[in-house]
Amino acid sequence: MAAVTLNNIAKQGKHGAAMMPIIQGVGRAAIEIAAVLRSAVFRGALGQAGAENVQGEQQQMLDVLSDEIFLDEMRSTGFVCAVGSEEQEELLVIDEYVHSDYLVLVDPLDGSSNLDVDGPVGTIFSIVKRKTDNSICPHVSDTLQSGQEVIAAGYVLYGPALMMVCSVGVGVDGYTFNSSNARFELSHPNIRIPESGGYYSVNESNADKWTDNMGANLERLKKESGLGMRYVGAMVADMHRTLIKGGIFLYPADDKNPTGKLRLLYEAIPMGFIMEQAGGKAMSRDVAVLDIEPESLHQRIPVYLGSKTKINILLSKNAK
Ligand code: AHM
Ligand code: MG
Residues present in the chain in total: 320
**Is any atom of ligand 1 closer than 6 Å to the C-beta of 66?**
no
Whether residue 221 sits in one domain with residue 151 = no
Domain assignment present for 1: no
In 69-120, DSSP assigns E strands to 80-85, 92-93, 102-110
**Boundary residue ending a domain (130, 165, 188):** 188
Ligand lying closest to the C-alpha of residue 57 = 1
Residue by residue, pLDDT tens for the chain (320 residues) are 789 999 999 999 999 999 999 999 999 999 999 999 999 988 887 878 776 766 677 788 999 999 999 999 999 999 999 999 999 999 999 999 999 999 999 999 999 889 989 999 999 999 999 999 989 999 999 999 999 999 999 999 999 999 999 999 999 999 999 999 999 999 999 999 999 999 999 999 999 999 999 999 999 999 999 999 999 999 999 999 999 999 999 999 999 999 999 999 999 999 999 999 999 999 999 999 999 999 999 999 999 999 999 999 999 975 54
Query: How far is Cα 3 from Cα 18, in angstroms, rounded to an integer?
Result: 22
CATH number at residue 311: 3.40.190.80
Query: How far is Cα 8 from Cα 5, in angstroms, rounded to an integer?
Result: 6
Whether residue 160 sits in one domain with residue 34 = yes
Whether residue 257 sits in one domain with residue 206 = yes
CA of 32 to the centre of ligand 2 (A): 19
Start-to-end CA span in the chain (Å): 56
Domain assignment present for 193: no
**Boundary residue ending a domain (132, 153, 188):** 188
Query: How far is Cα 220 from Cα 223, in angstroms, rounded to an integer?
Result: 5
| Residues in the 5 Å CB sphere of ion ligand 2 | 107, 110
Indicate left, alpha or beta for 260 from its phi (over 0: left) and psi (-120 to 50: alpha).
Answer: left
**Is any atom of ligand 1 closer than 6 Å to the C-beta of 142?**
no
Q: Which residues of 251-290 are buried (b: 16+ CB within 10 A; e: fewer)?
A: bbbbeebeebbbbbbbbbbbbbbbbbbbbbbbbbbeeebb
CA of 180 to the centre of ligand 1 (A): 33
Whether residue 208 sits in one domain with residue 137 = no
Whether residue 271 sits in one domain with residue 154 = no
Whether residue 224 sits in one domain with residue 165 = no
Cα 117 to Cα 81, 121, 150, 173, 234: the distances in Å are 36, 11, 34, 29, 12
Cα 108 to Cα 59, 86, 166, 235, 276: the distances in Å are 12, 7, 15, 12, 22
CATH number at residue 108: 3.30.540.10
Whether residue 203 sits in one domain with residue 149 = no
Task: Report the domain count for the chain.
Answer: 2
Domain assignment present for 232: yes
**227 with 300: CB under 8 angstroms?**
no
Whether residue 238 sits in one domain with residue 173 = no
Domain assignment present for 184: yes
Structural domain that includes position 113 = 6-188
Domain assignment present for 235: yes
Query: How far is Cα 86 from Cα 122, in angstroms, rounded to an integer?
Result: 13
